[in-house]
Structure formats: C-alpha cells, structure tokens
Chain A
C-alpha cells in the first residue's frame, strides 16, 4: 500500500514506468523454473499462449481495479501504442506476396472467404441486434440516432471475429501427422487477418465523430471526405512502402542504419495514419504489402527483425488493452459477450468441419478442429486501436453525462472483445472434456515432446 500511495503522488511518467516494471517483474517471475508446472497446466497454457497474463496485469493496474494506470496515462503513451499497432499491421501485410494466389490452392481462399463473409453476417447481425437494443435509450435521452453507430460498432466487433489464432503448438503438440493440418490452420489464419484488417480499416474511417450520431444524413456529406481520406491514406501507405524499401537498400548491412529506417518508418506511417484519421493497423498492412512485393534480399533481414520484436509488441498491446478495458459492463453488454461467444462457436465449428477438413482431411476428428474457435489476438489489437482513437475519446466526452449505460464507450468495447477472446480460449479445454480421444498422445509422440522440428513455428505468447 505504501508503494501505491507513493505512486499515486508521483509523476505520470514514473507511474507508467512503475506499471511497466511490474509487467517485466511478473514476466521474469513467470519465466522462472518454479512456475513451469503452472505454465504447463491446461489453464496455464491458455493464459500464456494468448497473452492473457498481460491483459490481466493491465486490468489490475488499470482504473477499474488498483488505478495505478488510467486512460490519461494511456493517452500520454498513445504515440507508442500507435507505433505498436503500425508494427502489427506491417507484420500482417508482409504475408501478402503477389505470388500467393498461385501458390495456395483454391480451397484455402474459399475457406478464407467463407469465414470472413459468415463472420461479418452472423456476428455482425448478433452484435447489431443487441447494440441497437442496448443503445435505444439514447434516442430518448439525448436525441441521438443510434442505428448508424450500432452498424459501425457491430462491424468492428464482427471484424475482430474474422480468422482465428495462428498458435497451434498448444493444440497440436508434436504429433507429426497433424503438422499439415496445423499448417493449413496457420495459412488460413494469416490470410484471414488481412481481410480482417481491411474491413476494420474501412470501418475505422467511418466511425462517427458525433455527427452521424446526431444526423444520419451526415453520412452522405461525409462519404466524399471518407473517399478522399481513404485514397490519401492508401497513397501515403504506398509512398511509405516505397520509401521503406529504398531506404533499406541505402542502409545496407549496417545494424544501426537498419534500425533507423525501421523505427522511423513505422513511426512515420503510424503517425501519418492518425493524422489522416485512418487506422495505423490498416495503413501498416498496406505498407507491408508494398514492401514484401519489392525485389531484393534486404527483405529477409527486415522480416527477421520485425518478427523478433513480435513478442514485445504483443505484450505492450495486451497490457494497453487491459488498462483500457472497462470491467464494469452493463447487463446487456455481458449479454452481447455471451451471444458473440455462442455465435462464434457456431460459425467457427461450421467452418472447421466444412472448409478446414476439406482443405486438409487429416484434420478431421482431431484437436486441430478446435483451432478456429480461438479468437485471433489481432482482434484485441483492433479493439485497442479503436479504444485509443480520437473517435472513442470524443464519443466518451459526448456521453459523459449518460446515464443508464445506454451508450457504449470505447473502453467497454475493448472489454467486450477481451472477454470474447478469453472465453473462446477455453474451447480446447471444453473439447478435451467432450472429445478426450482427440487429445490422446501416443507413447511415440510423447517421447518426442522435447524435440523441436523445423516445421514448428515458435509460438509467441501473443500473436503469430
């Protein structure tokens, strides 16, 4: 308590560092041998592989519990959070090589399309229905039109549900016969993440700044501006992509020079995106797409450095999400969480049985079919991006004086996505209980537990 009392009186910067120090200390403690049995337990694996420990720490340190860090501190660090979002977007975009359509079979693209379309329709409809119901009081109390807002927010929630976690080690282990299925899972996850960011990026620029909430007619007025904004953002992304590539060739083999280009580039396009009212995730993805399709070997070093920092970036974003998340949801928001989880289970189970098994028959009746049920960590990044966006701040200010919870804030949206993701993470556990035969490991496979093969993607705690 003494530490907290001191911290509450200390500067903003020190409190932020204190929060990060707590995170680092816990991360160090978590990586120690004495905690290993806990990490290997079923619950432990769930918490570790999705970066949920970082989210939990953020939640505890955030305004809802201890209050060491609050929204003001997150806003001070907003440039850094934008940087992290841009980095994640870059990672997503680096997957989209132009030769991919020829390399991947049609079934893969069908699975991606099916997942994206069905998620947007089903999850979007569920979210829209509940949001419209929950926000109906706004019309009565503030004279605001809520349906347009509900459509866009439902779209964001649905976009966060596209795809799934690419982490496969916890469900596949070292079973050689499941490696192809795990690979298919990761490929679809990767391609779906591109679609998710694309949808999210377009919606992000439509998110109302109060105008649409008051007059739906403003949509026609705002559309040309939106069109220009989107065009300029794409132009900036292409320019940054080209700049990045050329500067990497200028930097050559120098590590310091390379770091200048990488850090400067990400800061540049993330900041430019924010200035244009666009999503740093979306612009980052476009930059990544441009860079990955340029010729030359400098890309290999670029990709390696990007991926090496993935764990740190993921931790930072998860921590931010935890601080932003408002644990005090109204009853209808909890209803939204449960409805989205249920809808997600239905949609993903269907996708898993039809598309995934068609792609890779070896996945049938195995633990791999559980993979699509787990939310992609990218969904948390999207919610975080929305949560810190100016729009969310403006929306919060607009409804400061409401009332009976009949309007959703950015912080609550983050919490909803976090809870959907966390509950989805328990699907492997549920599957073990319902279908224990799918999780049995033979003696030969068990003996190979300690062997790391080149096919295994090192599962980062957070995103892949």
Chain B
C-alpha cells in the first residue's frame, strides 16, 4: 500500500506543479526547466511502478515502460514530445552503461570458445528474420495501405528495411531483465552475447542495406567504393577507442579510486559524445558506435585488470538501476502509439509482429540445431531476441533520415515505431518467463558477478 500511496502522491505533486507553475511562477517557462523534474518523476515513478508490477510476477522493466507511457503524450502528458527529446541524454547514458556492464560480464576465455557459435546463431537469426519478414511484407504489399500504390522499387525497399529492422533486438532490455532477475545460466548468457554479436553485425548489415535502398529510390544517390573501408574503420575504430577508454578507466581506478559514481557517469557521457562525432571515410559519413566502445572498454577492464576494476563494476551495478529506470521510463514516454488509431494499419502491425515472432522462433530452432545447443533450454532462447528498444528505434530514425520525408516513408516509420512499441512492451515478459522456466532466476552468486565460468 505504501508503494501505491507514494506513486499516487508523486503523480499528484508533479501534476500540481505542471498545472500551477505557469500561473504562480513569475518566470518564462524555458525548455530546460522541466528536465530536472522530469528526470526525478521518471526515476522515482518508474522505480515504484517496477516494484508494483513485480508483485504480480511481471518484470520490473515492464513497469518502467508502462509508467513512461502513462506520463507521456498519449496519457497524462506530464512529459510531452519536446520534453521527451530533452531526456535523450538518458538513452545515451544507458547505452554506454549497458555496454560497459555487458563487456564486464564477458569472460574472455568463454568468449574465445563460444565466439563461433555466437556469431553463427546471430547470423542465422538475422538472415532468417530479415528474409522472412521482408518476404511477407513484399508479398503482402498490395494490401498494405501506404505501399499498395507505390512502384515496385519502393515496395522492395520498404520490405527490405522493415525486414532488417525486425531483425534488430535490444541489449538494453535483455541486460535489464537479466540484472533484475539476478539471472545466471546458458539462456541469459547466450541471449546477451548473441544480442551483442547481432548488434555488431547489424552495423554492417544496416549500413549496406540503407546504402542500397537509397540508390534504389533516389536517382541522385550512388554506390561508393569506399563503403567497405568505412564500415571496417567504424567497427575496428569503435573497438580500439573503447579499449583505450577502458585502459584509461582502469588507470583511474588504480591511481585515484575515488568518486567512482561521478567518474562512471562521466565516462558513459564521454562514450556517448564520442559516438556523436561524425567522420568521413571513403566518401561515407561514419561514427564510432557507443555500444561497441562500451563493450570493448568493459571487456578490457574485466579481463586484463579484473581485481583493480572490481570496485568500479560494483559501483556500475549500483548506478545501473537509476539509469535503467530513467532510460526505460523515457523510452515509454516516447512510444508512438498513433498507429493504433487506424484499424487497417493496426491489422498490418499485428500481422507484422506475429510474423516477426514466428521467424525469430524458427531461426533459433535452425541455429540451435546447427550449433548443437542443449535441448534443455534451446527452445526458450528465441524469447531473448524478441524485445526491441533503442537500437531498433535508432535504425528507424536513420532510415527516415536516409530516405527523406515522402509520405510512404513517414507511414512506414509509424508502422515500425508501432512494431517496436509492441515488442518493447511484450518482450520483457517473454524473456522473464524464459529465464524463470530455465531455472536461471536468482541463480547468480553475489561474488561471481561479472565472471562467467560455464559454457553454453
């Protein structure tokens, strides 16, 4: 009851301030004024919501997302679209922190043994989902409202893009569910590792796809020979920069070792900011990937300076919860649900989600047999690849940016955002169920956090 009471009081207080502020404050309401209060509202409200849903057996992440949805533009509108944009830094912080944590979870010896299997699974999932979803979208394009009247080239482009975005999934949600469940075991380990491998592969796949799609729809665009070089620089550069950051972090912990929370947040922001800087290589505009940089940094620290950086990872664990609450709360507030208002598009959306689920499941069946995964748990692995969040959203926005503002692009974007919203809300439920059925919930020993020993 205390949790519910606090939750109601929090919402009431923020609502009061939002309504009265304009009337009693003798100030100009500037955009950044609301950021601090929104951060507090999301952090506390998401946390309380997570506690409430956990009482009924749901993953806390679902609570965080639902709270964001509640205070967002489609419900209470305590955080409107513009204010939601002001919280973008939360996403940058979260991606970097998650990548650091994920890197810290990976034992190099285990990775060396499993890398072939992981990339095989990742490759199969990407290819099967991509081909499957693209195929269904292309075949059904005559019945999709925004594609029915379009030329064949546009239908192909739309199908291919929808397919590739359907293949992406969210390391953030996977990490968050694993953390809150205190999970340890083959399903959690493999889900996270494959998701990260998929993300690495998606950098190449998406870059190639979007370049080809642009050429198909835009007569002025052309293929550049430096494309492969650009992608290679992006991948290798991200890993190299990340490794350097990891070494610097280890040096700080060894030399100073104080104010670690502030230091971690500063490093995460540094990774995010470095990721925003664009370079031109081989005629292509590239930037280093925060996810890869954070991963490399975490990996380096965990495997080369494990004892030195233990306190750092311990603090990262403490900081993760506030960051997750803020990130997923903000993600929930930015969910675009407009697509649910049009029944024809809604039907297309539901079919798309169903096809995606089916292809994800099918790809894991195929991949599991190829790499001979243990039958005891391989049937549940696919649930780790259902959740979508930041990565998929970023790909949607990149697609829009690359293809321009034609009406079909906007409608495709709305459909994709709807797909991501559904997968964002349903994904954590499925993954949590899979971890529970596999007996991995609460299996993590406190002293072994950050060290993986058994193999998938």
In addition to A250-B6, A265-B44, A271-B33, 8 A-B residue pairs with Cβ atoms within 8 Å of each other are A11-B277, A31-B256, A228-B24, A264-B40, A272-B14, A274-B36, A390-B33, A394-B27
Q: Is the CB of A243 within 8 A of B6?
A: yes
Q: Is B201 an interface residue (CB 8 A)?
A: no
- Mostly, the B contact residues are helix
| 12 A-B pairs with C-beta separation under 8 A | A11-B273, A13-B273, A17-B270, A232-B20, A247-B48, A250-B3, A260-B43, A260-B321, A261-B44, A268-B14, A271-B38, A274-B36
Find chain B residues with CB under 8 A from A222 CB.
Answer: 26
Q: Is the CB of A312 within 8 A of B259?
A: yes
Q: Is the CB of A390 within 8 A of B27?
A: yes
Q: Is B18 an interface residue (CB 8 A)?
A: yes
Given the known interface contacts A17-B273, A28-B256, A275-B17, the answer about A268 and B30 at a Cβ–Cβ threshold of 8 Å is no
Q: Is the CB of A83 within 8 A of B321?
A: no
By a beta-carbon cutoff of 8 Å, the part of chain A in contact with chain B is 10-11, 13-14, 17, 20, 24, 28, 31, 75-76, 78-79, 82-83, 205, 209, 211, 222, 225-226, 228-229, 232, 236, 239-240, 242-243, 246-247, 249-250, 255-257, 259-261, 263-272, 274-278, 311-312, 390-391, 394
Q: Measured between C-beta atoms, what is the minimum distance from A329 to chain B in Å?
A: 27
Q: Is B2 an interface residue (CB 8 A)?
A: yes
Q: Is B9 an interface residue (CB 8 A)?
A: yes
Cβ contact of B13, chosen from A31, A236, A264, cutoff 8 A: A236
Q: Is the CB of A259 within 8 A of B322?
A: yes
- Count of CB-CB pairs between chains A and B under 8 Å: 168
Cβ contact of A271, chosen from B5, B40, B48, cutoff 8 A: B40
A344 to B25 Cα, complex, angstroms: 34
Cβ contact of B18, chosen from A205, A275, A312, cutoff 8 A: A275
What are the 8 closest A-B residue pairs judged by CB atoms, nearest first?
A: A268-B40, A271-B37, A271-B36, A277-B25, A264-B43, A267-B40, A256-B321, A264-B44
Find chain A residues with CB under 8 A from B47 CB.
Answer: 257, 260-261, 264
Q: Is B21 an interface residue (CB 8 A)?
A: yes
Find chain B residues with CB under 8 A from A264 CB.
Answer: 39-40, 43-44, 47, 322, 325
Q: Is B449 an interface residue (CB 8 A)?
A: no
A188 to B46 Cα, complex, angstroms: 41
Contact with A along B25-65 (1 / 0, CB 8 A): 11111101111111111011001100100000000000000
A311 to B16 Cα, complex, angstroms: 34
Find chain A residues with CB under 8 A from B277 CB.
Answer: 10-11, 14
A229 to B270 Cα, complex, angstroms: 39
Q: Is the CB of A274 within 8 A of B322?
A: no
Find chain A residues with CB under 8 A from B33 CB.
Answer: 78, 271, 274-275, 390
Find chain A residues with CB under 8 A from B51 CB.
Answer: 250
Find chain A residues with CB under 8 A from B269 CB.
Answer: 13, 17
A14 to B321 Cα, complex, angstroms: 26
Q: Is B276 an interface residue (CB 8 A)?
A: yes
Identify the closest chain B residue to A76 (Cβ). Answer: B32
Find chain B residues with CB under 8 A from A31 CB.
Answer: 256
Q: Measured between C-beta atoms, what is the minimum distance from A66 to chain B in Å?
A: 20
Given the known interface contacts A256-B317, A268-B40, the answer about A239 and B13 at a Cβ–Cβ threshold of 8 Å is yes
Q: Is the CB of A82 within 8 A of B44?
A: no
Q: Is the CB of B273 within 8 A of A312?
A: no
Find chain B residues with CB under 8 A from A247 CB.
Answer: 6, 44, 48
Cβ contact of B26, chosen from A83, A225, A242, cutoff 8 A: A225
Q: Is B319 an interface residue (CB 8 A)?
A: yes
A199 to B38 Cα, complex, angstroms: 28
A263 to B319 Cα, complex, angstroms: 10
Q: Measured between C-beta atoms, what is the minimum distance from A385 to chain B in Å?
A: 13
How many chain-B residues does the 8 Å CB contact rule pick out? 54
Q: Measured between C-beta atoms, what is the minimum distance from A225 to chain B in Å?
A: 6
Find chain B residues with CB under 8 A from A249 CB.
Answer: 2
Q: Is B10 an interface residue (CB 8 A)?
A: yes
Find chain B residues with CB under 8 A from A225 CB.
Answer: 23-24, 26
Q: Is the CB of B273 within 8 A of A14?
A: yes
Find chain A residues with CB under 8 A from B16 CB.
Answer: 232, 236
Given the known interface contacts A259-B321, A390-B33, the answer about A275 and B21 at a Cβ–Cβ threshold of 8 Å is yes
Q: Is B266 an interface residue (CB 8 A)?
A: yes
Given the known interface contacts A256-B321, A271-B33, A271-B34, the answer about A276 and B2 at a Cβ–Cβ threshold of 8 Å is no
Given the known interface contacts A11-B276, A78-B32, A271-B40, the answer about A255 and B318 at a Cβ–Cβ threshold of 8 Å is yes
Q: Is the CB of A390 within 8 A of B321?
A: no
Q: Measured between C-beta atoms, what is the minimum distance from B231 to chain A in Å?
A: 24
Q: Using a CB-CB cutoff of 8 Å, which residues 320-369 of chain B contact chain A?
A: 320-322, 325
Q: Is the CB of A394 within 8 A of B24?
A: no
A403 to B20 Cα, complex, angstroms: 37
Q: Is the CB of A79 within 8 A of B35?
A: yes
Q: Is the CB of B43 within 8 A of A275?
A: no
Given the known interface contacts A222-B26, A243-B6, A260-B321, the answer about A276 and B17 at a Cβ–Cβ threshold of 8 Å is yes
A146 to B210 Cα, complex, angstroms: 61
Q: Is B262 an interface residue (CB 8 A)?
A: yes
Identify the closest chain B residue to A257 (Cβ). Answer: B321
A57 to B425 Cα, complex, angstroms: 47
A267 to B43 Cα, complex, angstroms: 9
A76 to B86 Cα, complex, angstroms: 10
Q: Is the CB of B318 within 8 A of A275?
A: no
Q: Is the CB of A209 within 8 A of B26?
A: yes
Q: Measured between C-beta atoms, what is the minimum distance from B275 to chain A in Å?
A: 11
A326 to B249 Cα, complex, angstroms: 35
Q: Is the CB of B9 within 8 A of A239?
A: yes
Given the known interface contacts A79-B35, A250-B6, A274-B33, the answer about A236 and B321 at a Cβ–Cβ threshold of 8 Å is no
Find chain A residues with CB under 8 A from B325 CB.
Answer: 260, 264
Q: Is the CB of A263 within 8 A of B43?
A: yes
Q: Is the CB of A232 within 8 A of B24?
A: yes
Identify the closest chain B residue to A266 (Cβ). Answer: B40
Q: Measured between C-beta atoms, what is the minimum distance from A80 to chain B in Å?
A: 8
Find chain B residues with CB under 8 A from A256 CB.
Answer: 317-322
Find chain B residues with CB under 8 A from A243 CB.
Answer: 6, 9-10, 13, 44
Given the known interface contacts A76-B32, A264-B43, the answer about A275 and B25 at a Cβ–Cβ threshold of 8 Å is yes
Q: Is the CB of A272 within 8 A of B24?
A: no
A228 to B21 Cα, complex, angstroms: 11
Q: Is the CB of A312 within 8 A of B26?
A: no
Find chain B residues with CB under 8 A from A394 CB.
Answer: 27-28
Q: Measured between C-beta atoms, what is the minimum distance from A301 to chain B in Å?
A: 13
A205 to B26 Cα, complex, angstroms: 8
Cβ contact of A268, chosen from B23, B29, B37, B48, cutoff 8 A: B37
A114 to B35 Cα, complex, angstroms: 40
Cβ contact of B39, chosen from A10, A17, A271, A276, cutoff 8 A: A271
Q: Is the CB of B24 within 8 A of A259?
A: no
A83 to B259 Cα, complex, angstroms: 17
- Of B35, B40, B277, B325, the most chain A CB neighbours within 10 A belong to B40
A394 to B37 Cα, complex, angstroms: 22
Cβ contact of A79, chosen from B39, B43, B261, cutoff 8 A: B39
Find chain A residues with CB under 8 A from B9 CB.
Answer: 239, 242-243
Q: Is the CB of B37 within 8 A of A274?
A: yes
